[in-house]
């Protein structure tokens, strides 16, 4: 067999394996959405088609490294994924790089004392379309989802904050929507920077939503809310008790408000570091939730210890939250 013949044979073999894996992923995706999505979403998924041009491009250099643009093109052919599941499995099966995967992820670098976040693809989640200014760090990444945005820390493997826009219509639409409980690791984050399902198993901590599942107004948003990029290790008693009450109170306020209510939620790390799992996901000492009513200009923040004995206490001011967190959440502050 000539060298050219061997190369062609190898190319055909790799193409066959690749098509088999992708077809399997699509079948999995259709099945999962059939269980958790509305009829409209199910129709959209079952009707999607995958072109073959990007396969040929990926295979043009057999045994070579798949470039990020080719990966992005391939994922675009699959259409945006509501739950991130196919995206996650695709990278794991094929061993593709994740640091640039997906157009909804970007890194924020620099050693400056503060950094203005961009979130160019999902500014609708922020007051006046202006994301917060945060203390500078080299391992922060912006993740856009359909109903919330996450600034993620690769060193903590948790969010820095999660931003949402709520209003009466979205709260009413979210009422009664069934939880999917399909947790997944977001493959747009590099492996070294993200939490995995194994990190929480047997840890004694809840996978605590920062953007609550109860706020999600669509099947797509509900599925996306179970990304581990939206989670922190949370004390189970605090999560189910006072924190749940704060989430319910926030929804009740947004339903009564005259317009949009913006909510920022996140962890705080102080004192001796505690971690869970083989990936050493850091456990926060406290959690915060900032509520800002854009119609009235009023704001307040909840500040809670991540501990079993925590009770719902009086809110703190916005200025006090900025002082404690170092983050300027609202424009012009």
User: Which residues are catalytic, by number?
Assistant: 209
Phi, psi torsion values for 305, nearest 5 degrees: -70, 140
Phi, psi torsion values for 66, nearest 5 degrees: -75, 125
Q: Mind spelling out the 3-state secondary structure of 84-97?
A: CHHHHHHHHHHCCC
Residues ≥6 apart with Cβ < 8 Å to 61: none
Angle between helices 85-94 and 3-36 (to 10 degrees): 160
Q: Are strands 133-135 and 114-116 parallel, antiparallel or unpaired?
A: antiparallel
* Inter-residue contact 174 to 87 (CB < 8 Å): no
Three-state SS at 65: coil
* Residue 294, CA distances (Å) to 12, 75, 188, 260, 303 in order: 58, 36, 31, 6, 21
Supply the DSSP symbol for 328. B
* Residue 215, CA distances (Å) to 3, 157, 174 in order: 59, 23, 6
Q: Are strands 133-135 and 140-144 parallel, antiparallel or unpaired?
A: unpaired
Q: Which string of DSSP letters, residue by residue, matches 166-235?
A: E-HHHHHHHTTPPP----B--TTS-GGGS--HHHHTTSSEEEEESS-GGG--SHHHHHHTTBGGGEEEEE
Structure tokens at 77: 């052919």
Distance, in Å, from the CA atom of 329 to the CA atom of 333, rounded to the nearest integer, reads 8
* Residue 321, CA distances (Å) to 12, 42, 158, 285 in order: 59, 42, 19, 15
């Amino acid at each position: 067999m000539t060298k050219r013949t061997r190369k062609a044979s190898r190319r055909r073999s790799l193409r066959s394996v690749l098509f088999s894996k992708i077809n399997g992923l699509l079948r999995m995706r259709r099945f999962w959405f059939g269980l958790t999505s509305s009829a409209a979403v199910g129709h959209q998924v079952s009707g999607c088609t995958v072109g073959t041009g990007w396969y040929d491009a990926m295979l043009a250099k057999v045994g070579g490294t798949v470039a990020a643009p080719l990966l992005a093109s391939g994922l675009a052919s699959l259409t945006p994924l509501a739950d991130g599941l196919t995206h996650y499995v695709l990278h794991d099966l094929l061993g593709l790089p994740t640091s640039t995967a997906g157009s909804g992820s970007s890194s924020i670098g620099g050693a400056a004392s503060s950094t203005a976040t961009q979130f160019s693809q999902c500014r609708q989640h922020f007051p006046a379309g202006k994301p917060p200014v945060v203390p500078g760090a080299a391992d922060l990444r912006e993740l856009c989802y359909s109903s919330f945005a996450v600034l993620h820390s690769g060193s903590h493997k948790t969010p820095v904050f999660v931003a949402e826009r709520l209003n009466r219509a979205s709260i009413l639409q979210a009422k009664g929507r069934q939880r999917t409980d399909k947790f997944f690791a977001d493959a747009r984050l590099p492996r070294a920077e993200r939490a995995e399902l194994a990190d929480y198993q047997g840890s004694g901590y809840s996978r605590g939503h920062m953007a609550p599942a109860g706020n999600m107004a669509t099947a797509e948003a509900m599925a996306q809310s179970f990304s581990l990029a939206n989670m922190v290790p949370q004390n189970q008693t605090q999560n189910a008790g006072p924190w749940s009450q704060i989430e319910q109170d926030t929804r009740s306020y947004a339903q009564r408000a005259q317009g949009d209510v913006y909510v920022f939620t996140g962890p705080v790390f102080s004192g001796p570091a505690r971690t869970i799992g083989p990936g050493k996901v850091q456990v926060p000492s406290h959690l915060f939730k900032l509520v800002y009513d854009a119609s009235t200009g009023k704001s307040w923040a909840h500040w809670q210890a991540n501990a079993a004995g925590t009770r719902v206490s009086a809110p703190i001011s916005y200025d006090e939250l900025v002082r404690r967190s170092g983050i300027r959440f609202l424009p012009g502050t």
